[in-house]
Amino acid sequence: MDLEELQVMWDAEHKESRFTLDEAGLHAIVQRRITESHRCAACRYRAEISISVVFASLTLIVASFLAFGSREWIDTLPWPKIVPTRWDITGLFIAGGVWLYFAWYLNRARLRLQRSGESFESSLHGDIDRALAWLDVQIKIARDIVWCGFVPLYAAIMLWVHVVFRLSTAPGRAATLNAIYVMAVAVMIAAFVMEVCCRRAAIRERYEPHRRELESLRRKLADSPTK
């Protein structure tokens, strides 16, 4: 939530001789910013949940074909290049299940974010408290999702990569398969480190500064008359 417009209005009001605060104007700005922030968060969650469900569905469909499809029919397909073992099929089912878990985790976080502001009244002070509660939940989600969400997800992606490339590599090309493993592991580690850094940066550079701004505004409101 960008509060520059709030600060401009605050400064303009305090240049007047009456030193009073236009609460209705500030309230409109706060409400608009809250609505915009919630809309952006809702769009982001919908996109992430949809992607997770799509990947889960595709992985589970492939695993089901390999598990229950006719062996003669599978042998006519260009993939897999080797006969899948029950561990390959189990790995795909596990990977698909983790993708579903991640979609459920994101949806639970989305609902938690929605409920975080339900108990506050519709007023300037109430909406500032609602925004603070919303930021607190965002900070908690950003911290928890790394270990509760991305750790199992990246493990599932590595499992998926292992199974898919093993089944895609013709017999006798172990060196190629090992090179793919090394590259995939390096990419996954780099992606995970980047994810952790991005979440910490969001807390440090976005959520916490906005929280301090809101707390400062709340203190100013408590000390100022309104008109």
- How much of the chain, in percent, has pLDDT values that exceed 70? 87
User: Vertex 47, ends 45 and 95: CA angle to 5°?
Assistant: 95
**Confidence band for 6, pLDDT divided at 50, 70 and 90:** low
**Confidence band for 5, pLDDT divided at 50, 70 and 90:** low
Residues 183 and 136: their CA atoms lie apart, in Å, by 38
Q: What is the mean pLDDT of residues 157-181?
A: 81
Residues 65 and 57: their CA atoms lie apart, in Å, by 12
Domain extents for the chain?
4-223
Q: Check pLDDT > 80 for residue 131.
A: yes
pLDDT at 19: 38
Place of tokens 């997770």: 52
Q: Check pLDDT > 60 for residue 16.
A: no
Residues 55 and 34: their CA atoms lie apart, in Å, by 32
How does the average pLDDT of the chain come out, rounded? 85
| pLDDT, tens digit, 9 for 90 and up, residues 64-119 | 999 998 888 888 888 888 889 999 999 999 999 999 999 999 999 999 998 987 88
- How much of the chain, in percent, has pLDDT values that exceed 90? 47
Q: What is the SS3 assignment for 13-75?
A: HCCCCCCCECHHHHHHHHHHHHHHHHHHHHHHHHHHHHHHHHHHHHHHHHHHHHHHCCHHHHH
Lowest mean pLDDT among 140-149, 156-165, 176-185, 190-199: 176-185
CA dihedral 177, 185, 160, 150 (to 10 degrees): 180
Which pTM does this prediction carry?
0.83
pLDDT at 52: 96
Q: What is the SS3 assignment for 105-132?
A: HHHHHHHHHHHCCCCCCCCHHHHHHHHH
